[in-house]
Structure 1
Amino acid sequence: MKINIVITMVLFLFSFFINGQTRSVNGKVISEDLEPLAGVQIRNSDNELLGETDFDGQFKIIISGKNDTLCLDFIGMEFTEIKLKEDCNNVEIIMMYYVIYDFISSKKIDRLRKKRYKKLNEKHLFATDKGIFQYKHSCYIRNFKQLQLD
């Protein structure tokens, strides 16, 4: 009986080291209008659902150590992809609205989107000043992606 328990414990510890380390990441997701977003789906780069935000836009997820990319998706918002830094355990994200531009070239659309994207840092600081966010600087990398129009 004791041997079975010992073997089970060893296998459990061995499987833990094979799968790698995990870490807990928590945070908050808001819109450009600084309103919390409830129901934002958070996925990893393998498109595996990790969790969703609650009514206040808060979330807490567990990710594997090898996966450092989070993808956020919500109806009416642009798809957001962030790359977490190594010591990043608390993320505060502002999602941009998905805007339909009629009768405009894709280059002009991207110029307008980039203009809004550049204002996200200012909005982050404003959200910190209003007490919505805790940290003045984000601990992740977020790059602007041009639209892929067909």
Structure 2
Amino acid sequence: MSSGDNSQQRRLGTRVRAQIPVRITSVDPADNFSQTCHTLMVNPQGCGIRFPRALPEGLQLRIEDLPGRGITAARVACNRPLEEGSKFWIVGIALESPGNLWCMAPVPTDWGTYTAPPKFFPMSVKYIGEDSVIRKVRVIEA
């Protein structure tokens, strides 16, 4: 945003300080890593994590070991040095699907529709909606 621009950049959900252990895994074979770290701040759109190096902006990630044993897709949004001379970085991560994946309660009022903790599904299962009805159950015996 330029200094001559008088418009305010609106954050989509107040950031809440929270140290939540998560596992960050790259889904890019060219930058292959998986590391446990902690969030520093969270909101429905993403989080900031403490990480030992800067990560390429746009790098596709998987966040695992979320509260409630959830997994979600995300991407690197930005990097900032933790403090001058520090060997750590704050890496901003944007969630592919916003929500209260952090299972925080209570949450700021501007989290709006994202106040309820999610119902997690494995990434391999497609969510078919709340109004879906199971019409027939088939049991397969081994």
TM category, shorter? 0.3 to 0.5
The higher radius of gyration belongs to 1
- TM-score, L = length of structure 1: 0.32
Task: Give the structure with the larger helix fraction.
Answer: 1
- TM-score, L = length of structure 2: 0.33
Task: Give the structure with the larger strand fraction.
Answer: 2
